[in-house]
Amino acid sequence: MRRPRLIGGLVGLALAAGALTAVVVFIIPTHWWEGRPRFGPDEIYVGKTREELIALLGQPTREGPWYIGQPPLKYREKYKGTQTLEWHWESGQFLASVHPADGKWVCYYSAWVPKGIVID
């Protein structure tokens, strides 16, 4: 009598482990297990220097003198000299705009963009 219960328990445990594995692999978004931020603005990087961003995220894959999206003129005047850094990962890209402040390049805006989304 005990053997069928033991086998049933083991089968149930195996099914539960398989279901948990499926959730982790297929349902949880890639950026969670990449340790990347989610879609949209990500204010935890605002105020960090360019060097701190690179220390946290590695070398950017691309950078240059442009803004994220199409900000209004007032915004562009406030953050003259902007440089935007981009990091590309399997799940999307992360962008951080920095501007000169007190002799350092400081992040004033950053955003996570999932793969397949294009920002004008």
How far, in Å, are 4, 65, 86, 95, 105 from residue 61 at the CA level? 57, 14, 6, 10, 18
CA distance 11 to 23: 19
Determine the pLDDT at residue 69: 86
How confident is the prediction along the chain (120 residues), in pLDDT tens digits per residue?
Answer: 566 676 666 555 556 555 555 444 444 454 444 555 555 667 889 999 999 999 999 999 999 999 988 888 998 899 989 999 999 988 889 999 999 998 999 999 998 888 888 776
* Residue 99 pLDDT: 95
Predicted local confidence at residue 88, as pLDDT: 92
pLDDT, position 82: 95
In 52-79, which positions are buried (b, 16+ CB within 10 angstroms) versus exposed (e)?
Answer: ebeeebeebeebeeeebeeeeeeeeeeb
Can you give the pTM of this predicted structure? Answer: 0.65
Of the candidates 53, 109, 62, the residue with the CA atom closest to the CA atom of residue 82: 109
What is the identity of the amino acid at 97?
Answer: S
